[in-house]
Structure formats: C-alpha cells, structure tokens
Amino acid sequence: MITYLYWSGILLAAAILFGVCAKTDNWKTGIILALVILIMGWSAYYFRLQQVFVKRYGGVMTIYVPEGQHHISATWKDDNLWVENYNPATNTCIFSEYSKGNLLQGQVTIKNCNPVMP
C-alpha cells in the first residue's frame, strides 16, 4: 500500500508542477521539471526506498528464483534481503544478497550441500 501512495505522490507532484508551468506558458520548463521529479522519485525508490518499504511498511517486491534452482529460505540483514536457493545440478546452496538498487550484491556458495538429507 505504501508503494502505491509513494508513486501517487510523485505523479501528483510532477503533474502539479507541470500544470503551474503550463498555465504560465512555460511548457518546456514544465516538461523538464516534471521529468526531473519523476527521475528523482524513481531513483530514490530504486536505490533507497524499495526494500525499506517492504521490510518496515508492508510494501511490494518480487524476486524470481533462477531457472533450475529450488528456493530454501529468505532472511533480512539490516535492510538487505538474503535468499537461499539450492542448485541440484551442482549440489550447491547459494545465498544471494539483494541490496538497495542491486549495487552491492553478495553471494555465498556452499559446495556439497544437500538440504533434503537429515
């Protein structure tokens, strides 16, 4: 829900600024300023707010399990999501980090991992 409120606020701010500039016949300035607001809103969301919204406020986020792997678990470390998957072809467990903006993605591989054996 918070994700939708955030994007509604960004779009409303861009529309209001464009409307004010258009009313004073500054179309070019209005378009440029509206685009700046949209780009800044997208950047803030992608590089900072997406995982914060999901973890703290019940936001929306989708992650796909790579082809040929099986999902085992997921956990939060600070504001970064760590996901554990199992690759039966190579018999390895892979911990992958999904950080803000996917800039710092860590990965830990455990070889000879068989999570289904007792």
Confidence of residue 103 (pLDDT cuts 50, 70, 90): low
Residue keyed to tokens 């986020």: 61
Q: Residue 25 above 90 pLDDT?
A: no
* Distance (Å, whole) CA 37 – CA 43: 10
Q: Where are the domains of the chain?
A: 2-57, 70-111
Q: What percent of the chain has pLDDT over 90?
A: 35
Q: Which of 21, 45, 42, 24 is nearest to 33 (CA)?
A: 21
Q: What pLDDT shows up at residue 117?
A: 60
Q: What pLDDT shows up at residue 36?
A: 94
Q: How many Cβ atoms from other residues are within 10 Å of residue 90's Cβ?
A: 14
Confidence of residue 40 (pLDDT cuts 50, 70, 90): very high
Q: Residue 102 above 90 pLDDT?
A: no
- Tens digits of per-residue pLDDT, 49-89? 888 888 888 777 788 888 999 999 999 888 788 899 999 89
Confidence of residue 42 (pLDDT cuts 50, 70, 90): very high
